[in-house]
Every structure is written in C-alpha cells, then in structure tokens.
Amino acid sequence: MVSERCPFSCLCFIVEDFDKSLCGNGLPEDTEECDPGLILNNDPCCTSDCQLKQGAICSDKHQQCCSSCRVASNQTMCSDTEHWSCKQRTYCTGDSLECPQALPLPNFTTCLDGGQCFNGLCVGYCEAKGQYEKLSLRSCLCKTPEFACKWCCYDDSDPDKQCKPHSNSSVLDGRRCYLGYSELIIHTSQTQGDKCFQYSRITSVRPYMTLDQLEGFYPEARIESWLYPDTSVWRFPIN
C-alpha cells in the first residue's frame, strides 16, 4: 500500500508479506501476466491489474520478441552486438517470445580496448598478446609521461611485475589520456575477459592521481555525500 507517513514527495510501499506478488512494481510475478508499473504505467499491452489486455498475446515490455502485443517476426533483431560484446546479432524466431542465445563472434575478432574475442569473451590487448607469446601478460598503465598512452602490460609470472610498453602503437581515441589511462575505459561499464582487465587498469592508476586531477578527468564519477559533506565519494562503473 501507499504510505501517508512518507516524509518526502514520493511514493513509499510497505510490503507486509514479501512472499506475495505486488502488482505495480514493474515485475510480473505469480499469477500476473504482465506489470505496467504503478508510476510509469507505460505498457500498452497490460491492464492496471497486471493482466494482458483483450487480444494481446504478450507484453512488449517484458518479452524481447514481442512487438505490438504479438509475437515478433523473424526479421526482428532482439540482441545487437557491440565491439566489446563478442556476440553476433540475434533475431527472433517468429514463433517464440524468447530471444535465441547469441552465438559468439569468430575468435580473433577485434573488440574493446584493442582486445580480441576468444570463445565469446572480449580478452584485453595484453591478455590476448600473452596467449600468442605463451606469457601471463596482464594490462596495466605506464606511469612515465613518454609511455602515457602506450599499450602497457606486465608479466604476472614476473616477481617484479614491471609495467612496460608492449607495443609502439598509442591508445589514441580522441580523448584525454593520463598515465596511459584513456577515458574510453572508464566510460565503458562492460568488463569482460580474464581477471577484469579494464578494472585492473583503472585501479593501477588511481593511486597516482590527486583529487583535483581525478575530478578534472572524470567529474561525473564524484558523488555528493549528504551524510558526510566534507567527504568526497567516487563511483567507478566496473560491471
């Protein structure tokens, strides 16, 4: 139910029994055929009591292969591909509401951050190079200015784990670069491949940035803290 005790201008729900479904929360549960959501209420196939409207077979909001409340045709793309996904585009079958499982792109297809696809996963530049050279290479960020935008790796089997350039090419994507840290990495939330190569690159450079440098480089990561006004809180998308 909607609480009148809510101190803010919002809708609060008091759920007394979490085992029961709640029509209006946007998630079809138990006997619900659909759920348009109480606030948005934006499902043209669904009634306010979470049942399909007369003549509707499915809900566009809840089934990937539903179009205009009907089963989508086999020309309908239900899963697109990006250079980081290493998955092929997928189309509806025309007789099912489920989107078929996406097939992997061919191995060695170029993907995010100079990496390559292996068995449907995007493996980072260093990790892919390591497979060719039979080394345990991992991505890192060179700290010296002359190598700031180079592809840098370290050998995980090396006790010193020295981070150094492994290519003469530069990571040039038209964005600012700091200590080998292309903005493309931090703005991309998808993290795939062995040991989260993108996250390892982020964490390897963050200790060398001052707060001013970090805020200038990625201001949208800073979160204002109303609990502790004098404290800077930072959020970085990694998955």
C-beta atoms surrounding 220 within 10 Å: 9
Please give the Cα distance from 61 to 69 (Å, whole number). Answer: 9
* Count of positions (residues) in the chain: 239
Low-confidence ranges of the chain (pLDDT < 70): 1-20, 39-40, 81-84, 171-239
Q: Write the DSSP string, 181-231.
A: EEHHHHT-----TTTTHHHHHHHHHGGG--HHHHHHH-GGGEE--SSSTT-
Whole-structure pTM value: 0.54
Please classify residue 121 by burial: count the beta carbons closer than 10 Å to its beta carbon, then call 0-12 exposed, 13-18 middle and 19+ buried: middle
Q: In a 10 Å sphere around its CB, with 0-12 CB exposed, 13-18 middle and 19+ buried, how is residue 20 labelled?
A: exposed
Beta strand pairing status for 177-178 and 222-223?
Answer: unpaired
The pLDDT tens digits of the residues spanning 51-69 come to 999 999 999 988 999 999 9
> Residue type at 96?
S
Per-residue buried b or exposed e for 83-103, using 16+ beta carbons within 10 Å of the residue's own CB:
ebbbbeebbbbeeebebeebe
pLDDT at residue number 217: 52
pLDDT of residue 9: 43
**Considering Cα of 89, then 91, then 97, then 101, what sign does the dihedral take?**
negative
pLDDT of residue 10: 47
Ordered by start, the domain boundaries in the chain are: 109-210
pLDDT digits (tens, 9 = 90+) for 126-152: 888 888 888 889 888 777 777 777 888
